[in-house]
Chain A
């Protein structure tokens, strides 16, 4: 194994995951699943209202049909690994939205400006919260970021 892969860093790289093509990204919001190991876990499959996520065995990596996915983000708050995100790059040339799972306090509100964080927890840019959805105790928080940052931003921190 390479020394800089996720097993030694805990950080997923773009080449580790399956991502939709540009055409699909332009169509509307779509799921990005950053779950790459054969672990025994399947709530995402049961959650998807469009059956866009499938597995033969519980230890399979989720198999995603990007055409069937409607980007509803229900799976974002159901994934026990908090490894599912939804990106929407369909509505602007400069901006994208990304929905991230969030289980900390305080919880941001729509319209708030927050710090967008990358996979190492480093600040990437300031971003506006466009939507806050709660399922159980987990929030799915949608923020708007610069298009260049959509593959880097995976978390957020409330500015106090």
Chain B
């Protein structure tokens, strides 16, 4: 098997830690400090991570950010561990247990040493929205705790190797990876207390956040919450779409840009929006062949400049095309694609086989709003923002007073917008608890202006309309 780890990259430096081994079903698997269990297994060639409940079909790596359940395994006797967000450790024992894990016989410490703590502000999610909210609230003097389930912060920024668009003032021209690092550093400097590997289990009234961390239950009784939990990837239905090798674009980015592991050799990209085209470019930079980008619509969704960039590298983009099926038994060995007419009906006789070992889905994202539903925040279905989103005031407060939302959880846009919304939410939650300051007023004003700028132009039309429909007056909030 060829080396899956990337050692030379035009943009990224992979500073791998020490090399060590862990046990996977009796086999020694190599890993580097900082790698997740799933990444190390993937680099070792493993494709089947678990299997489906009824038909026992193979299930592989998919989202890579702890949102799906394709990578659950037993680690040191503990079942249902999300191996994609759990760091590999020397000597650990990892086993697949399929979809029906047994209750562990070993003592896993659940329920012991339960911690309850009163805090001022809880921020959920350590991407650009959560970090920015934390920075603003903490620099004004609030006691701010930020929770993220990953072992590092930055959200999806840490995978963005390209230079950002947007305003020069708002970090455009800087690469996402660098913006993420800067924000994390600033958050630490201004005193945000950061809790990584801290999984939010749920919301409890009034403003209590239940967290699983350090192998125990921790309950944070807060006065205000900013929820910045991001988004989940959308799926597409086609024959064999559950085969290992069918991955979400975010999963591919995580594996490739964070973990430094290539997903395969030949990729079929489904979806020509900015995500699909940018990930295609990143694949090319990692020396992976992108055989084709297909798009169901008659036009390319991405910015022309992104599309031109991958075309210059020789990648064809086929519009009015869909994927009919994935080929393969245990993993993807190819795909059948097909032309569709203006009514989205497949045109018979236009089927074409594409040779690939990865099918990457970049067909959209949906806001991850489970926590907010649990907190009884009122929702609205806003297609322009990617699905169900919470109603919110201009200051990003949901209908449950004191709970704020920012970033993709408030509607699918991009990182600059997420940071700006976070800035507003961070200032507003501070004001709600402790009152206005010069800085909170200024932060809100600047960020509102920034948002207006970002949502200008034809590409801003959808979010502009979407945000309009779900913005409410403060009187609506409880």
Contacts and interface: CB of A to CB of B under 8 A. Distances in A.
A41 B303 CA distance: 11
A103 B285 contact: yes
Interface of B: 8-11, 162-168, 172-173, 175, 284-285, 287, 298-300, 303-315, 317, 319, 453-460
Given A82-B309, A105-B8, A40 B173 contact: no
Chain A contact-residue range equals: 35 or more
Nearest to B178: A136
B466 to A, nearest CB: 16
Nearest to B302: A10
Given A6-B307, A81-B165, A105-B9, A121 B312 contact: yes
A40 B167 contact: yes
Best-buried of A36, A82, A122 by chain B (most CB within 10 Å): A82
Given A38-B458, A42-B172, A155 B312 contact: yes
Interface in A64-122: 78-83, 103-105, 107, 117-122
Nearest to A138: B163
A41 B300 contact: no
A39 B313 CA distance: 22
B281 to A, nearest CB: 8
Contacts of B460: 40, 59
B303 A122 contact: no
B304 to A, nearest CB: 5
Contacts of B165: 39-41, 80-81
A46 B168 CA distance: 7
A42 B167 contact: yes
B457 A10 contact: no
Contact of B317 (A10, A39, A79, A155): A10
Interface of A: 1, 3, 6-12, 34-43, 45-47, 57-59, 78-83, 103-105, 107, 117-122, 136-138, 154-155
A39 B168 contact: no
B314 A121 contact: yes
A105 to B, nearest CB: 5
Nearest to A12: B308
Contact of A8 (B11, B284, B299, B453): B299
A119 B456 contact: no
Contacts of B453: 40, 57-59
Nearest to B458: A38
A38 B315 contact: no
A78 B173 contact: yes
B311 A10 contact: yes
Contacts of B304: 6-7, 10, 12, 35-37
B303 A81 contact: yes
A15 to B, nearest CB: 14
20 contacts: A6-B308, A7-B304, A8-B300, A10-B311, A11-B308, A38-B456, A40-B166, A40-B167, A40-B460, A41-B166, A42-B167, A78-B163, A80-B164, A80-B173, A81-B165, A81-B308, A103-B285, A119-B308, A121-B314, A138-B163
A58 B167 contact: yes
